[in-house]
Structure 1
Amino acid sequence: MPSRSTDRFDAAIDLAARRVGDAAGALRPDGAPIAVLLDGKSGAGKTTLAALLRARWQGPVEVVALDDIYPGWDGLAAGADAARTQILEPWLSGRVARWRRWDWVRSAPGESMTTRPDASLIIEGSGVLTPASAALAPVRVWLDSPEEARRDRALARDGDAYRPYWERWAAQERWHVAEDDPRALATLVIGVP
């Protein structure tokens, strides 16, 4: 039986998906491709929200997770920059975006990936919302969630593989929040329990 906190999380993510969908729909009444950025600290619900948006999206959509781009455990800023320069900017200019997935096992660049320009683009991940990326995407979301709930979700999802890196990653997220102020850049700020 789902816990009360799981039910509240699911309801918040459902509401978030409706709000993001409505915002995107208002900006693209003709169904033209649009860029959406989903940011928030680890465990806030970005991946869950992106999956729900993908399932409900009207028309073609590409979803890119920064977890596939970050170059290792110290790569939050580098991953966000690569998402902007290698994916978002080419997509915006109507070109196929070509980028490399990060191979976490080998700790090296992995397979080559492409993102098509004729589909809407959702990029989700901690650090994605910066002043440079905000200028390129009309729908920008900051998911705000309490640390304890985020930590519980992230460790339940990734378990012992993430546990030793939680604080190391959280320090980079704190730097991102202080340096980039993604909450202020967001067009939607959504609280998630």
Structure 2
Amino acid sequence: MALIVSFEELAGAIRELPPSCGPVRVVAVDGPGGSGKTTFAGRLAAALDAQVIHSDDFPVPWDEPPVAWFERVEEQVLGPLAAGRAGGYRRYDWVRGVFADWVDVPVAPVLILEGVSTARRTTPAALTVWVEAPGELRLARALARDGAAYAAQWRDWARAEEKWFAADGTRARADLLLDGATVPGEFVRIQPS
């Protein structure tokens, strides 16, 4: 049986979790591209008054595995937070193909990491969330956002994601499984079998 997720209730539960990265509770929102991760993370961040770091803030070439971007997060954000210090990073401008504005990441009660491979085994997460949706819907969302010219790249990317998720066991380790097909409405929790 599926349950509707209340963002306020989930935010309350997250606030009760012990810190996982120094004094910070890291929430990792993962799942395949186009599944609804960004929308979910944004709504959760609003309920928590928390900052979101998106994988899209970092350069990830189409021809690399969907995990290469994370080293910068570990070095520039998670490492300092684990030591009780603020972190930060330079956001990548995908249109211009350059690093742009600096983003401060203060020590705060909660930080949300959103994107493919954020819930990897090495992430110091207090909570991991897996968001999924049918492949056709994910592709349609991605192409609506990025344009039909990227269809071949998105299909290649989806294969790379599948390979990564299988090797990492990401979905099986998630604390919360969500049906992202309901975006922009409420998210539905998928009960484990």
Specify if TM > 0.5: yes
Instruction: Give the match for residue 151 of structure 2.
Output: 163
Q: Verify the 8 A CA contact 1:66 1:83 in the aligned structure 2.
A: no
The Cα of 1:24 is off from its aligned counterpart by: 0.5
Name the CA distance, whole Å, in 2 between partners of 1:25 and 1:118. 11
Given candidates 95, 110, 120, the residue that maps to 1:105 is: 95
Name the CA distance, whole Å, in 2 between partners of 1:17 and 1:88. 25
Structure 2, unmatched stretches of 5+, are: 182-193
Given candidates 45, 52, 59, the residue that maps to 1:70 is: 59
Pair 77,148 (structure 1): closer, same or farther in 2 beyond 3 Å:
same
Instruction: Give the match for residue 26 of structure 2.
Output: 35
Name the CA distance, whole Å, in 1 between partners of 2:91 and 2:165. 25
Give deviations 1:140-174, integer Å, cap 9, x for gaps. 11112211121122222333364342112212211
Give deviations 1:44-68, integer Å, cap 9, x for gaps. 11100111112211xx421111111
For the pair 1:132 / 2:139, whether they are aligned, the reply is no
Pair 116,89 (structure 1): closer, same or farther in 2 beyond 3 Å:
same
Name the CA distance, whole Å, in 2 between partners of 1:119 and 1:191. 27
Pair 17,158 (structure 1): closer, same or farther in 2 beyond 3 Å:
farther
Residue identity in the other structure for 1:95? R
Instruction: Give the match for residue 61 of structure 1.
Output: 50
More helix by share: 1
Identity, in percent, stands at: 34
Paired residue secondary structure (1:101): strand
Task: Tell me how many residue pairs correspond in the alignment.
Answer: 175
For the pair 1:52 / 2:43, whether they are aligned, the reply is yes
CA RMSD of superposed structures (Å): 2.5
Name the CA distance, whole Å, in 1 between partners of 2:137 and 2:46. 25
Instruction: Give the match for residue 5 of structure 1.
Output: none
Residue identity in the other structure for 1:38? V
Give deviations 1:116-140, integer Å, cap 9, x for gaps. 113520010011111111xx11111
For the pair 1:95 / 2:85, whether they are aligned, the reply is yes
Q: Out of 100-109 and 60-69, give the one that drifted further.
A: 100-109
TM-score (norm: length of structure 1): 0.78
The Cα of 1:178 is off from its aligned counterpart by: 1.7
Pair 170,19 (structure 1): closer, same or farther in 2 beyond 3 Å:
farther
Q: Verify the 8 A CA contact 1:36 1:122 in the aligned structure 2.
A: yes
Q: Verify the 8 A CA contact 1:97 1:114 in the aligned structure 2.
A: yes
Q: Verify the 8 A CA contact 1:130 1:185 in the aligned structure 2.
A: no
Name the CA distance, whole Å, in 2 between partners of 1:46 and 1:156. 16
Residue identity in the other structure for 2:37? K
Q: Verify the 8 A CA contact 2:131 2:180 in the aligned structure 1.
A: yes
